[in-house]
Amino acid sequence: MSEVAMEQLKFLSQDDVRTVAERFGTPVFVYDEATVRRSSETMATLPNAFGLTVRYSLKACPSQAIIRLFDRQGFSFDASSVWEARRAVIAGADPAKISMTAQEAVFDDNLRELIDAGLQFDAGSLHQLDEYGRNYPGGEVAIRINPGFGSGLVGRLNSGGPQSSFGIWHEQLPEVKRIVDEHGLKLVRLQSHIGSGHHWDILIDAVRTMLSFARDFQDVHTLDLGGGYRVSALHTDPVYDHTEWARVVADELTAFAEETGRRLHTEVEPGTYLTALSGALVTKVIDKADTGEDGNSFLKINSGLTEIARPSYYGVQHPIVSVPATGTRAADDAEEYNVVGHCCIAGDVLTASYKPVEQLAPVPLGRTEIGDFIVIERAGSYCSSMSMKNFNSYPEAAEVLRRADGSFDLIRARQTIEQVVVNERIPEGL
């Protein structure tokens, strides 16, 4: 195969890959502290009209070490379940710095304890708003709005519009007013998350929809724009300038202030943008296969759906880099491979096509042999947290933090098979 443009390692060197594999084993997630800090600085300094709060979206990567990193930087947090919120508190976060917008919100002791300690509750439905009012009459509350449209990198990442269950439908404002008045609530924050990997012009339309709501609720002081901000992962991806849409939002809020006298604060909830490019999954090639001269060449790795489900679920492509176990390769020593996982299911494919996801999309890699390493980049968000954990009873992978000085710290030990089954019980007589 002639010389082609292959993906490159983002923050690890080839020697780093070998060191991590030897010291911690494979598969192993590696997160880079310096990359996290750079992306944090970019998001924290976005243009804004009347102040900006950045909430790290915990579902992206809820490792306690990562949470602690953001907490020490002064960030707030976005939780998608009561359990994510409790996990952040265990890591040291103040409940008052957490807002929760969840599909499941049950006002039991777990949730009550957090709200009483300062957690900010976002009602994602009329039922949730009513339940909050019954439990906290006269309290402050936020709501998530479905603006009637959405946008995402793929259809399954679109969380707005008539096919989405997320948020209160934009035409149900009269019912929101009724519930707020019935319980004496103060509606102080409006939130909308239209999808992950969205187009920013559609985000602006969502902002305008929220501003139309804000006109009818005088206590609203904050607009939360959600997350879903794109990153440039593949070498073919464009560079995204997030200051562009932020300036437009600031202009919209400035115009609203000039008209109404109300200066609304801005919140954003990035997850992918803050951690995606800070993570790499280091795996080992355990086997090779092919389907004949006119067929496909496969690299089998000791990872897959058990660590990363995005390629199989969404058809989203991750940068993939081959690292030789020893030595180096010539730049033109490349072949096209399909990279597949170790799970006993046909869909465990890391080189799936974007459209349709059922088709293979081989990638050019350096000539790779059994025992070499495959590094899957852009693995810092929605990988460890969204994997098919323990499928085929594979233990959970280890996780490592690459510190700013280049050293490596273990932040999650590799699970043992005894830990996999620790909560199982065998009834007497079996």
Domain range enclosing 186: 33-275
What CATH code is carried by the domain that includes residue 400?
A: 2.40.37.10
pLDDT tens per residue across span 305-350: 999 999 998 888 999 999 999 988 877 788 999 999 999 999 999 9
Indicate whether 220 and 347 sit together in one domain: no
Mean pLDDT of 224-236: 94
- On whether both 324 and 215 belong to a single domain, the answer is no
The span from the CA of 390 to the CA of 367, in Å, is 31
Does residue 209 share a domain with residue 64? yes
CA atoms within 13 A on the CB side of 354: 6
Query: Residue 309: inside a domain, yes or no?
Result: yes
Q: Are 26 and 134 within one domain? A: no
Q: Which two tokens stand for residue 302?
A: 């000791």
pLDDT of residue 3: 56
Domain endpoint, select from 260, 275, 290: 275
Q: In terms of domains, do 192 and 85 share one?
A: yes
3-class DSSP assignment, residue 92: coil
Q: Provide the percentage of residues in the chain whose pLDDT is more than 90.
A: 87
4 found inside a domain: no
In whole angstroms, what is the distance from residue 261 CA to residue 255 CA? 10
- Residues 25 and 113 reside in one and the same domain: no
The model's pLDDT over 74-88, given as tens digits with 9 standing for 90+, comes to 999 999 999 999 999
Distance CA 93, CA 95 (A): 6
| 249 and 268 together in one domain | yes
252 and 397 in a common domain: no
Does residue 297 share a domain with residue 231? no
Note the pLDDT of residue 149.
Answer: 87
Residue 329: its pLDDT value, please?
Answer: 82
Q: Is the pLDDT of residue 189 over 70?
A: yes
Candidate from 197-206, 251-260, 365-374 with smallest mean pLDDT: 197-206
For residues 238 and 97, membership in a common domain is answered with yes
Q: How far apart are CA 204 and CA 375, in angstroms?
A: 36
Terminal-to-terminal C-alpha distance of the chain: 58
Say what the pLDDT of residue 355 is.
Answer: 72
Q: Does the pLDDT value for residue 229 go beyond 70?
A: yes
Whether 426 is covered by a domain: the verdict is no
- Contact indicator for 137, 183 with CB cutoff of 8 Å: yes
Concerning whether 61 is annotated as a catalytic residue, the answer is: no
Residue type, position 183, single letter = H
Q: What is the DSSP string of 341-391?
A: -SSSSTT-BSSB-SSSTTSB--EEEE---TT-EEEEES-SSSSGGGS-TTG
Residue 27: is the preceding peptide bond cis (ω within 30°)? yes
Q: How many residues does the chain have?
A: 430
Q: Which residue, among 136, 130, 137, 56, has the nearest Cα to 99 in the 3D structure? A: 56
Instruction: Name the percent of the chain lying above pLDDT 70.
Output: 99
Do 245 and 266 form a contact (C-beta atoms < 8 A)?
no
pLDDT of 327: 87
Write the pLDDT tens digit of every residue in 377-392: 999 999 999 999 999 9
- Residue 190 inside a domain? The answer is yes
Residue in 313, 364, 306 with CA at minimum distance from that of residue 339: 364
Contact status, residue 283 vs residue 27, Cβ threshold 8 Å: yes
* Residue 173 predicted with pLDDT over 60: yes
Domain count, the chain: 2
State yes or no: pLDDT of 265 exceeds 70. Answer: yes
Mean per-residue pLDDT over the chain, rounded: 95
Residue 419 within a domain: no
Average pLDDT of the segment spanning 394-400: 98
* Whether residues 358 and 314 fall in one domain: yes
pLDDT at 270: 97
Whether residue 97 is predicted with pLDDT greater than 90 in this model: the reply is: yes
Average of per-residue pLDDT across 53-63 = 98
Q: Is 1 part of a structural domain of the chain?
A: no
Distance from C-alpha of 383 to C-alpha of 29, rounded to nearest angstrom: 9
Residue 424 resides in a domain: no
3-state secondary structure of 410: strand
User: So what's the pLDDT on residue 1?
Assistant: 46
When pLDDT is averaged across residues 133-139 and rounded to a whole number, the result is 98
**Of the candidates 216, 248, 275, which is a domain's last residue?**
275
Asked whether residue 88 is domain-assigned, the answer is yes
Same domain, 73 and 204: yes
Instruction: Check which CATH number belongs to the domain holding 263 and give it.
Output: 3.20.20.10
Confidence of residue 257 (pLDDT cuts 50, 70, 90): very high
* Catalytic annotation, pick one of 61, 343, 344, 383: 344
Whether the bond into 47 is cis, omega within 30 of 0? no
Q: How confident is the model at residue 2 (pLDDT cuts 50, 70, 90)?
A: very low
Rounded CA-CA distance 135/179 in Å is 13
